[in-house]
């Protein structure tokens, strides 16, 4: 029986010629990731079991990105614990304030993850790196601790759903719209503990930023991981960047999938997930009038340079609507610098938006944009659960940077085309 991409990567890292869905394996890890929230728990477990060394100081990444710069004393103490651990064990890839970025934007950028890798991270959106042709998945902090000690992890081999992407998306349709459309079709548990394996001629029309966004939100469909084939786009991104040798895996022609989902990218429209689940999707043509109090553009889903460019193209020469707060957060320091060099930061500030340091802050209701009772936000983040960004009676509408920027100008959920057409008519 043939194997999927995910199954081939897991078999190779387990030292096996083949694996089958449901099989329990122990696999070697190429990287173990933790952040300022999850790493302290892992460090406590590390110390509790009496460990005195890490398996490889170069294959652990610790990123202080959620509550940093520190929002309170507790956050400061968590970061101090991680900082002390990193210094004690000489962790090469430790990213503190000034070097840090949002972890899932930072690691691909720094070349720490790449094709053929097997990666775990104590953060559910570790599945992002499937965009590069890697198997990557989120784990608990105890598994992170075990991974830091042994360089290995246990997995149950997942079965897979094949997602066939066809044709080329229209203007304003991005990776965010693709994944929201998919989640809307199959539901938040539609891929439960399965691999979402993307393929088809439409893949070549998706940029790396699009793919990173799509793979990032595989977990929102319940998937164990999401993964893209390694093609010219992948290799153009990783060549000269990835710090190890890329290993390219391809699904066998006779690989077995539980089901196949086809998506015609040319037929997609900008898509919004209404509260309080990512599966509650509507196209921008169906949303009606929804007044908005806050816009957030950023996060590990949509804080990359293409996202900022799209937002700037809409905000340029315009103003954020009265009574709307617009918060824009680049994914990393490099993206921040690129936005400055391209004049994007100036566009944001002149439009009346806040352009600030890389942080996960508002995505999880941590800081830098908490919602009050009854407030609504359009956010390019990845979750819109009850109370996700603040008060339990607030609402989060998930959308692309284009929709978020248009909504910032209009003060309500808005179609980017509407903004441009009104300008043409004037």
Contact 320, 411 (CB under 8 A): no
Q: What is the pLDDT of residue 387?
A: 92
* pLDDT average, residue stretch 293-314: 97
Distance separating alpha carbons of residues 176 and 216, to the nearest angstrom: 10
Query: Is the whole-model pTM more than 0.75?
Result: yes
| Mean pLDDT confidence for 155-178 | 97
pLDDT for 363 equals 87
Beta-sheet pairing, 271-273 with 281-283: antiparallel
Predicted confidence band at 420 (pLDDT cuts at 50, 70, 90)? confident
Per-residue pLDDT at 423: 62
C-alpha to C-alpha distance for 106 and 100, rounded to whole angstroms: 8
Q: What is the DSSP letter of 248?
A: -
* CA-closest candidate to residue 122, choices 21, 8, 46, 195: 46
For CATH 3.30.499.10, the residue range(s) in the chain are: 5-264, 272-425
Mean pLDDT of 375-387: 95
CB atoms within 10 A of CB 425: 6
Strand residues in 274-399 grouped as ranges (E) = 281-283, 294-297, 325-328, 354-355, 376-379, 395-398
Strand pairing class (135-138; 376-379)? unpaired
pLDDT band at 109 (very low <50, low <70, confident <90, very high): very high
422 falls in which pLDDT band (50, 70, 90)? low
CB atoms within 10 A of CB 351: 22
Give tens-digit pLDDT for 79-94. 999 999 999 999 999 9
Q: Confidence class of residue 419 from pLDDT cuts 50, 70 and 90?
A: confident
- Please give the average per-residue pLDDT across 294-298, as a whole number: 97
Confidence of residue 1 (pLDDT cuts 50, 70, 90): confident
| Confidence category of residue 425, pLDDT binned at 50, 70, 90 | low
Cβ atoms 227, 198 nearer than 8 A: yes
| 285 vs 415: CA distance, rounded Å | 8
pLDDT tens across 120-161, in order? Answer: 999 999 999 999 999 999 999 999 999 999 999 999 999 999
pLDDT value at residue 418: 80
Q: Dump pLDDT digits (tens) for 207-254.
A: 999 999 999 999 999 999 999 999 999 999 999 999 899 999 999 999
The CATH code for residues 5-264 is 3.30.499.10
| Among the four given CATH numbers 3.30.70.890, 3.90.1150.10, 3.30.499.10, 3.40.50.720, the one describing domain 272-425 | 3.30.499.10
Q: Which of 64-68, 327-331, 421-425 has the least mean pLDDT?
A: 421-425
């Amino acid at each position: 029986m043939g194997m999927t991409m995910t199954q081939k990567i897991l078999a190779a890292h387990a030292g096996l010629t083949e694996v089958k869905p449901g099989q329990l394996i122990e696999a070697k890890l190429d990287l173990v990731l933790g952040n300022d929230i999850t790493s302290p728990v892992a460090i406590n477990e590390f110390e509790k079991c009496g460990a005195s060394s890490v398996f490889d100081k170069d294959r652990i990444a610790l990123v202080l990105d959620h509550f940093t710069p520190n929002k309170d004393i507790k956050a400061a103490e968590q970061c101090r614990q991680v900082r002390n651990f990193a210094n004690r064990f000489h962790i090469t890839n430790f990213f503190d304030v000034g070097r840090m970025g949002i972890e899932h934007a930072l690691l691909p950028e720094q070349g720490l993850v790449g094709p053929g890798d097997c990666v775990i991270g104590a953060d559910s959106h570790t599945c992002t790196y499937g965009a590069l042709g890697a198997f990557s998945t989120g784990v608990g902090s105890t598994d992170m601790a075990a991974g830091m000690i042994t360089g290995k992890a246990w997995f149950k081999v997942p079965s897979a759903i094949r997602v066939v992407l066809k044709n080329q998306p229209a203007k304003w349709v991005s990776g965010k719209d693709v994944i929201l459309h998919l989640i809307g079709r199959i539901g938040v548990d539609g891929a439960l503990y399965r691999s979402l394996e993307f393929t088809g001629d439409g893949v070549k029309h998706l940029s790396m930023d699009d793919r990173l966004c799509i793979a990032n939100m595989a977990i929102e469909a319940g998937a164990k991981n999401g993964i893209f084939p390694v093609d010219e786009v992948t290799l153009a991104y990783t060549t000269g960047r990835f710090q190890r040798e890329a290993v390219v895996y391809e699904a066998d022609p006779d690989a077995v999938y539980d089901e196949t989902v086809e998506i015609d990218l040319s037929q997609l429209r900008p898509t919004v997930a209404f509260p309080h689940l990512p599966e509650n999707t509507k196209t921008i043509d169906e949303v009606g009038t929804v007044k908005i109090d806050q816009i957030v553009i950023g996060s590990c889903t949509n804080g990359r340079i293409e996202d900022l460019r799209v937002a700037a193209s809409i905000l340029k020469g315009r103003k954020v609507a009265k009574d709307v707060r617009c918060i824009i957060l680049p994914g990393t320091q490099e993206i921040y610098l690129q936005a400055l060099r391209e004049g994007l930061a100036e566009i944001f500030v002149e439009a009346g938006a806040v352009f600030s340091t890389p942080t996960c802050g508002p995505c999880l209701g941590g800081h830098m944009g908490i919602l009050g009772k009854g407030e609504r936000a359009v956010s390019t983040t990845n979750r819109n659960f009850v109370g996700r960004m603040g008060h339990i009676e607030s609402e989060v509408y998930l959308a692309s940077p284009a929709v978020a920027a248009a909504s910032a100008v209009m003060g309500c959920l808005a179609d980017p085309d509407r903004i441009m057409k009104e300008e043409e008519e004037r």
